[in-house]
Amino acid sequence: MEGPAERAGEDEDLEEKAMAVAGPLAELGEAEDSLDTDLDSDQETEGIHGHRELAKDPLCLRSCQTHSLMPASSFLRQRIAEELNVRHRSLGPQGAQAVASTLAANPSIKRLDLRDNGLCGTGAEVLAAVLSKSSSICDVDLSENQLGAAGAQALCAALAENQTVQKIQLAGNCLEEQAAQHLATFLLAQTSVKSLDLSYNHLNDRAGEILGPALAENTGLTELNISWNHLRGSGATAFAKGLEANIFLKVLDISYNGFGDSGASAIGEALKTNNVLEELNLSNNRISMVGALSLGLGLQVNQTLRILVVSRNPMRSEGCFGLLKSVRNNPASTLELLDFSDIQVNREFDDFASSVKVILPGLCLKTGSPRPEYKKELLPIFKPSSPASNH
């Protein structure tokens, strides 16, 4: 059996080898940290940022050596912190294995940020095995990692068993219709996750049809971001119906999709019965005047919505007028912000908005894009030359 003294000697050898490899990285880190020397002096005393301490974590170094990886100073520096932030490091699937080994042995880490590391589905599967058993990690950011359907399946299955994680960010991961089924199963099973970010993916009409019923039954989420996807037509309508039955969601961002007038109408119907939602972003969803008026039917009776953003929609002044009129006619409305940014409105709407502000002084209105102001008298293009210019 290997004795403590022999093990310590082995670790010292490993540290020396790692420092030889990590030396350039540490030097680079020292150059970056020189700007913050005064701020970090106290932390360096405790060994959190001191580069002489970077290689004194044999487990971390052994994991990197096992997977033929160069230990990054930023990774080693955070070994005892509550947050492990290793963004934009091109770790790849092998790097995920090294991170997983460290996470398994470090119960102090509460937030894991591996955004933009090319983990792919294989790396997600490796991390999923650790996340399913973790009782400390409550915030996970795996955005921009090309996870795809395989990665989504592994993570959803693992996190469905975890009741500690409360926030998950999966933005920009090429999640399509196939991933939607795994996400739906996850939404039906999970109750501890409060915030989910699925923005900048490829979730389409069919995905909306799958996610809508799951959203209706979910009993945990209070914040959902599904902006910059492709929810349109029947998918948008099905998703909106899910919102109608949901009784937990407070913040919903569905901007930059393509809900159109039919989707806006379905959202309007949802707002008639939903008595929980407080913030809704519908920016850039191809909503015309017709869709705006349908949406307004929900605003006439809704009693919980505080923020509504409908900027960059082709609803024109008439649509904006209809929405604002619905708010004015609802004595129980709690709306605090109505955002019409980047929608050109006319003078008639401006006058109406001014009258509404008198009735509802607590309502903040954001209107229109900057409009050009023309002077009555145009200056001549060429000014007469002064006498001095002729000399």
Q: What is the pLDDT of residues 346-378, one digit of tens each?
A: 999 999 999 999 999 999 999 976 444 444 444
pTM of the full predicted structure? 0.78
Looking at this protein, which amino acid is placed at residue 74? S
- Whole-angstrom Cα distance, residue 42 to residue 48? 9
The answer to whether the beta carbons of residues 71 and 21 sit under 8 Å apart is yes
Looking at this protein, which amino acid is placed at residue 56? K
**SS3 assignment, position 282:** coil
- Whole-angstrom Cα distance, residue 341 to residue 357? 17
Question: What six digits make up the tokens of 216?
Answer: 């209706």
pLDDT digits (tens, 9 = 90+) for 219-247: 999 999 999 999 999 999 999 999 999 99
Same-domain check for residues 178 and 239: yes
Same-domain check for residues 249 and 340: yes
- Contacts of residue 169, Cβ cutoff 8 Å, sequence gap at least 6: 115, 140, 141, 142, 143, 197
Q: Is 90 inside a domain boundary?
A: yes
E strands present in the chain: 83-85, 111-113, 139-141, 167-169, 195-197, 223-225, 251-253, 279-281, 307-309, 337-341, 364-368
Strand 195-197 with 279-281, pairing: unpaired
C-alpha dist (Å) from residue 100 to 91, 107, 124, 265:
12, 12, 10, 46
Per the DSSP assignment, residues forming a β-bridge with 279 are 251, 307
DSSP 311-367: -S-TTHHHHHHHHHHHHHT-TT----EEEEET----HHHHHHHHHHHHH-TT-EEEE
Q: Is 390 inside a domain boundary?
A: no
Of 71, 77, 101, 105, nearest to 89 by C-alpha is: 71
Band of residue 68 on the pLDDT scale cut at 50, 70, 90 = low
Q: Domain ends where: 43, 63, 80?
A: 80
Looking at this protein, which amino acid is placed at residue 357? K
What's 354's domain CATH number? 3.80.10.10
- Whole-angstrom Cα distance, residue 156 to residue 179? 10
Q: Is 224 inside a domain boundary?
A: yes
Same-domain check for residues 218 and 365: yes
What is the Cα 239 distance to its own chain's centre? 19
Number of H helices, E strands in the chain: 14, 11
Same-domain check for residues 204 and 89: yes
Q: Which of 9-13, 22-26, 137-141 has the highest mean pLDDT?
A: 137-141
Q: Is 269 inside a domain boundary?
A: yes
Q: Is 382 inside a domain boundary?
A: no
Ranking 41-55, 83-97, 126-140, 279-293 by mean pLDDT, the lowest is 41-55
Q: Is 59 inside a domain boundary?
A: yes
Find the distance separating the first CA and the last CA of the chain, reported in whole Å. 100
Same-domain check for residues 127 and 267: yes
Same-domain check for residues 36 and 160: no
Q: Is 270 inside a domain boundary?
A: yes
Q: What is the pLDDT of residue 106?
A: 87
Same-domain check for residues 41 and 157: no
Specify the length of the chain in residues: 391
Same-domain check for residues 95 and 37: no
Q: Residue 165: is its pLDDT beyond 70?
A: yes
Band of residue 53 on the pLDDT scale cut at 50, 70, 90 = very low
Backbone angles phi, psi at 91, to 5 degrees: -65, -40
- Whole-angstrom Cα distance, residue 367 to residue 321? 11
Same-domain check for residues 159 and 187: yes
**SS3 assignment, position 212:** helix
pLDDT digits (tens, 9 = 90+) for 245-289: 999 999 999 999 999 999 999 999 999 999 999 999 999 999 999
Same-domain check for residues 74 and 88: no
Of 300, 313, 253, 245, nearest to 278 by C-alpha is: 253
Give me the chain's average pLDDT, please.
82
Angle, CA 72 vertex, CA 68 and CA 73 arms, to 5°: 145
Q: Is 267 inside a domain boundary?
A: yes
Same-domain check for residues 57 and 170: no
Query: For residue 36, what are the domain limits?
Result: 18-80
Same-domain check for residues 57 and 89: no
Instruction: Work out how many domains the chain is built from and give that number.
Output: 2
